[in-house]
Amino acid sequence: MQTTKRTGPTNIIVRKTIRALKSAANRNNAPIWKYVAELIDRPRRLRVEVNLSKINRYTQSGDVVVVPGKVLGAGSIDHPVTVAALGFSRQAVEKIRAAGGKAVHILQLIEENPRGSRVKIII
């Protein structure tokens, strides 16, 4: 009987993001980044895909949100928020910017907010 070895993500950007999240968690004593890294380290078929309507429902103006997966453009958003994710659909980026918000990669958010203070995770 042969056992298969778990290999983890093969996408180099995803691997770099996971390493950066774990490093930021240890360096800044910020457990939120470790949790986000664990969510991203799952198999791709189990990663989250969040619609803008869900982000709109659970956020208020000026919130900072992390999506450990992809943001899709279904629904609308009516207030400015900063959304950090692994990926965005083109329509999602257009709608976020039209509402006055920002769409950034998770690595950029780690640089702006290394302690992860006042960040919401939407899964």
Q: Taking the complete model, does pTM exceed 0.75, yes or no? A: yes
Enumerate the domain spans of the chain. 12-121
- pLDDT tens digits for 33-47? 999 999 999 998 999
3-state helix, strand, coil in the chain (%, to 5): 45, 20, 35
Q: Are 72 and 50 in contact (CB under 8 A)?
A: yes
In the chain, the amino acid numbered 40 is: I
Q: What integer pLDDT is reported at residue 121 of this predicted model?
A: 96
In the chain, the amino acid numbered 35 is: Y
Matching residue, tokens 């453009």: 73
**Nearest Cα to 81, choosing from 119, 48, 47, 114?**
119
CATH code of the domain made up of 12-121: 3.100.10.10
Q: Is the pLDDT of residue 123 over 70?
A: yes
- pLDDT tens digits for 35-85? 999 999 999 899 999 999 999 999 999 999 999 999 999 999 999 999 999
In the chain, the amino acid numbered 85 is: A
Q: What integer pLDDT is reported at residue 61 of this predicted model?
A: 95
Q: What integer pLDDT is reported at residue 1 of this predicted model?
A: 66
What's the average model confidence in pLDDT over 82-102? 97
Q: What integer pLDDT is reported at residue 40 of this predicted model?
A: 96
Q: What integer pLDDT is reported at residue 94 of this predicted model?
A: 97
